[in-house]
Chains A and B, each alone.
Chain A
């Protein structure tokens, strides 16, 4: 079966080839509060082909599309053991007058900040209310500057979809807001198990450490969706929200999958009320009766060794026929989620009586319904250790067949960082269990140990790897390191670029002789100062001929110049319009090249900056005395990225101050932040042949500060 992936639009296009689809099941009533008159004018023109359903499509659109929003998420992931910010987008629906937005959990995953773009173009910040990764649903709440009543819609409470029913997908595919597509329901109860798959492996295929979709069957449909549609509504022709578009196929045509509306509605309202969804676990896995002679009950698929159900006598292959006296049956794999849901919704810590059949005999087993443990631990960057790590949960430990049930799972290692140079190195996949003999149960424990180390007394880590308990000696690094410019021995320079002309090429080109034709004269050029011009043909240096050996490389000329001593006197012989010229020059030291310029990584901006160099000014055609800060790189999700700064921009002013170098920019930034103002921070930027104004939001600068101080 082709890979099915979540549907987020990311600014990193290469990371975002995923497609999300949703399939509607039964339709519930959607009470879109916004009247059609408030729908933006451009939405009143439907692209859907006219036909008998056109009026119903238009009606459904007018009910729901006005409350469909785009969600911009600044997310923090971890690469090479360090945090990395990026921007992604998804879709959502306003589901309360208080501005609650229903969307997918993977749209808000790792989110540091959220912005909601409404159908009318208004943009407001939002906060995360709650997330339920097991259902892939989350709720945000809009944070308007003053209290506001929002138009909203509701999920259907019943499902009656049939294959062939027309459905509408609304959202922001590829970040293109206010988009709608139409298709039909392919299958209103789809489990993502093909004819070739083993249903018992289904849960394991749902997601790393989070079996998303365990509790419902999907609505499969073919309304076109793309990355960015995730979290957007699937709507039927009655204007009801019948699903939440969540997943799609990378290959194989328009196949989309939606979380059924009734389930989505229940979970969303639980998140609004409690901020979380409580579930229980009985400690075993089930599968359908498919392939067995039975027509009642469900089969026990797996029981963990040493778990309470095993101790109570439950084993793989047993058939459970009732739960607390109520018959349960899953004839086909698609029936299993409903049973899973019935178990998950049992009261926490309640006693559960299972009627179990084995070998023709039936007996009762009583288990305690325990609160479902957290499946995935929180990930964080531990800069002092040069790693990113996640608290190991028992579930994560079981999946990795680890002895450890707690500790810190190393998820990434910074090259050259403390973990990478530890003896022996600490690698991704290892679990840090002890530091200096003391147990480490989570990330906070590990961070607290960093201060125990000294230059002479590093930390001794006990790590679990491949079933072995090993020791590693690590010196934490406190504080950031910046890159100094790379120094270089002075090189001689005469300040020109030349084009080589061999004898034969010179003849064909109509030049009087072989030599190097000046193609550019740099500002401050010693040859320029001596009177040389573009077009002059340099034919000798200190009496020695300048004869290129090929037509493509001027390296010989450069080398002849470099062989001169810095500050030496030299005489170039040249031809101009066939007449001999002589240029007496004093050789200069070469301007600093890019590698020799001072760089600075500004954490608040999430950008790499450096001095404006000589060759930058030349490339940008700037005066030789122009000062500024060159943008060498921008993290898309950082403050600089959000302000639309780009690599190659030159910042000349920030806030109220001119900035001439990276240090001054840092100072100007701190000064702007210290100012008592809630306004935007303006940036004056040279981009190409234009000078532009860009703006920084203050909260970007604070929210995106790195975790370097740890």
Chain B
């Protein structure tokens, strides 16, 4: 809703960036129009069912510049997907090949690769940051898996083998956990499946936030994330006044693919740094 107090000229100046950001992040207006206006039951059931499986991960991403390692500490959201502490995270938090950002092919000369290490996980309700190690990555799906070095008994996790098929027109809900500065509480956001494509690969185009998408019943639907290289290319191609925002969508990898890759990852040992 437009605040009446904002001058129209300021609104006009904000229009372009707002329009672009709204395409990616705003909750879909279609939800409000669909008649489902009250999400309180969904919030209660979703947080009760999966809230404890959504955790915060800190890590250090490093890249070599002029022979010197530059390190940046960062944070991301992770989802516990097994009782023995397997965690699903976006691969962009684990590695970033600058060649891909630049659109280069594999055969071109090597570009710097940023890599993450020193993963630490804060479980729901815990004060401690527990060490975790990388298990594997799937760069095609944009996913990576960590495992807690010392799993805690009774971990709450999401069983990805019991997912539902996502289709255009469906709403979904994403669970996040705030930082400890906000008390580490679960929050959720609604999202909307805008479309489906098989080019360049089969995935769903969505509005929402990165992370696991759940149905109102709490079943996993797919993993939502940003494709940074694609987003950068799309922005550079359409950053004028044409405002072609159709590509400014997040992508959802169908749950079946996520579950299949997770089954492979679950069989692997963690790669412990030394």
A414 contacts across to B, CB distance below 8 A:
71
Q: Does A46 count as interface, using CB distance less than 8 angstroms?
A: no
Tell me, in angstroms, the Cα distance from A593 to B261 when the chains sit together.
19
Q: Are B67 and A549 in contact (CB under 8 A)?
A: no
Chain A min CB distance to B112 (Å): 8
Whether the pair B274, A608 counts as a contact (CB closer than 8 A) is: no
Contacts of B106 in A (CB 8 A): 497, 593, 615
Task: For B63, give the chain A residue with the smallest CB separation.
Answer: A633
Give min CB distance, B59 to chain A, whole Å: 8
- Are B115 and A595 interface neighbours, CB within 8 A? yes
Whether, in the assembled complex, A575 has its beta carbon less than 8 Å from a beta carbon of chain B, the answer is no
Give the CA-CA distance A485 to B272 in the complex, in Å. 10
Contact of A491 with B68 in the complex, beta carbons under 8 Å:
no
| Given A421-B120, A487-B268: A594 and B67 interface contact (C-beta under 8 Å) | no
Check: B105 CB closer than 8 A to any chain A CB: yes
- Binary interface encoding of chain B residues 104-118 relative to chain A, with 1 for a CB under 8 A from any of its CBs, else 0: 011111111101011
A48 an interface residue at 8 Å Cβ cutoff? no
Given A482-B274, A491-B140, A80-B117 contact (CB < 8 Å): no
In terms of DSSP, what is the predominant structure of the interface of chain A? loop
Query: How many angstroms from the CA of A169 to the CA of B70 in the assembled complex?
Result: 39
Asked if A486 and B64 make an inter-chain contact with CB atoms under 8 angstroms apart, the answer reads no
Once the chains bind, are B200 and A635 in contact (CB under 8 Å)? no
Contact, CB under 8 Å: A559 / B110: no
Determine the chain B residues whose CB is within 8 A of the CB of A559 once the complex forms.
140, 200-201
Among B23-31, B128-136, B160-168, B171-179, the one that faces the other chain is: B128-136
Residue interface mask B219-253, A partner, CB < 8 A = 1: 00000000000000000000000000000000000
Shortest beta-carbon distance from A23 to chain B in Å:
35
- Given known A-B contacts A416-B73, A556-B199, A640-B67, A489 and B107 have beta carbons under 8 A apart: no
**Which residues on B sit within 8 Å (CB–CB) of A647?**
67
B60 in contact (CB, < 8 A): yes
The verdict on A619 contacting B108 (CB below 8 Å), with A486-B95, A647-B67 known, is: yes
Option from A554, A556, A635 in Cβ contact (under 8 Å) with B68: A635
Cross-chain pair count, CB within 8 angstroms: 134
Q: Of A80, A487, A522, A601, which one neighbours B136 at CB under 8 angstroms?
A: A487
Say whether A64 faces chain B, with CB atoms less than 8 Å apart: no
| B179 CB to nearest chain A CB (Å) | 14
- What B residues does A497 contact at CB under 8 A? 105-107
- Asked, given contacts A489-B261, A618-B107, A619-B107, whether A416 binds B67 with beta carbons under 8 Å apart, the answer is no
Shortest Cβ distance from residue A308 to the other chain B in the assembled complex, whole angstroms: 46
**A128: interface (CB < 8 Å):** no
Docked complex Cα distance between A258 and B146 (Å): 60
In the complex, chain A residues whose CB is within 8 Å of the CB of B196: none
Bound CA span A499–B62, Å = 34
- Rounded to whole angstroms, the CA-CA distance of A670 and B108 in the bound complex is 34
Q: Is B273 in contact with A484, judged by CB distance below 8 angstroms? A: yes
- Give CA–CA (A486, B268) in the complex, Å: 13
User: Are A481 and B274 within 8 A (Cβ)?
Assistant: yes
Question: Are the C-beta atoms of A487 and B200 separated by less than 8 Å?
Answer: no
Pair A487/B107 contact, Cβ less than 8 Å: no
In the complex, whether A483 has a CB less than 8 A from a CB of chain B is yes
